[in-house]
Structure 1
Amino acid sequence: MRMTWADFWTLMDTLDGEAGEVSCRRLTEKLGRRPVADIIGFAERHAEALYRLDQEKFGSLPVADLTDRDGSPFPQSADHFLYTRCAVVAAGRAVWEDVFFDVDRFAPFTSTRYDGEWLLYVPDQAYELATGREWDRSTRYCFETFSNKDGWPHLQS
């Protein structure tokens, strides 16, 4: 059975809106009790959700609560932007969908208060929990920053 978006978002609700260590461990344990096909499906949906957010309009936003020494906006690094996208996904389906229509809804997640990095490890840890083996995986969508060429039109050659 293929994981639907509805199934994915139901699992994401386990996080209660934030991708901290404790909530991601709870999600890992829940996902790790499911069939391997569900873990793979979750990884695919997660990668796609991050990929879709990989857009210049979000990545060019400055970090909400940081400035350079001269007071100018502090840009997001590629890693910070990835973790910010994870935080948006962790916030749930409604937030994830809303940011596409209103970039101002994305901006608060650039704050250093939000860090969704733990969410990146959930599929791999769930797979290891379910199988006892490490997962050397790839997904259809690459979620690394700048992977979505359509989202960064000025980078296209």
Structure 2
Amino acid sequence: MAVDFWSVIGSNAVTSRADIEVAVAQVEQRLRALDPSDLVSFQDQLERNLDALDLSALASIPVELAGGLVLEQTADHFLYARCACLLAGRDEVRGVLESSERFGDFVAPRLQSAEALLYLARTEHQRRTGEPMG
């Protein structure tokens, strides 16, 4: 049976670093219940969902820093902002795809720790099998 990506992700508040930490911990806990093949499936779905958000309209949304400084997103910043968007859940992703301005909520520097989502399934797979995920 294929893993339901959005059931593992859930729907999370992602307005602060603390929110990201809680969301990541919840996803990590759900991944522990999956078998290794489902971890691979989750990782594949994660990559497909990140790719679906890899849009120039989203990448062009600027980052506003404290003090009013405005910068373009770097490639890494954009990737981590997409992770934060995914952590917010399916409905939020759909909303961003319908209205790119909504992605501005995820480019905040305080949400960059959403990067951790990239490594959860791979780390759990390695922990359980002793082998890196292929």
TM-score range, shorter chain: 0.7 to 0.9
- Asked if 1:110 corresponds to 2:96, the answer is no
Query: Runs of 5+ in structure 1 lacking a partner?
Result: 138-157
1:2-27 deviation per Cα after TM superposition (whole angstroms, max 9, x unaligned): 23xxx1111101x7334734532332
Given residue 114 of structure 1, which amino acid in structure 2 is its aligned partner? Answer: L
Q: Which has the larger radius of gyration?
A: 1
1:42-89 deviation per Cα after TM superposition (whole angstroms, max 9, x unaligned): 101110000111111100111133678xx5x31000000000000000
Query: Runs of 5+ in structure 2 lacking a partner?
Result: none
Is this contact kept in 1: 2:126–2:133, CA < 8 A? no
- What is residue 81 of structure 2 aligned with on the other side? 84
Q: CA deviation at 1:136?
A: 4.0
Counterpart secondary structure, 1:20? helix
Given residue 47 of structure 1, which amino acid in structure 2 is its aligned partner? Answer: E
- Give the 5 Å matches for 1:35-114: 35-65=35-65, 73-114=70-111
Number of aligned positions between the proteins: 129
Q: Give TM-score, length-normalised by structure 1.
A: 0.72
Q: Distance in 2 between matches of 1:66 and 1:59?
A: 20
| Shift in alpha-carbon separation, 1:37–1:24, aligned structure 2, 3 A | same
Q: Distance in 1 between matches of 2:56 and 2:24?
A: 27
Q: Give TM-score, length-normalised by structure 2.
A: 0.84
Counterpart secondary structure, 1:100? helix
Counterpart secondary structure, 2:71? strand
Identity %: 30
Is this contact kept in 2: 1:64–1:107, CA < 8 A? no
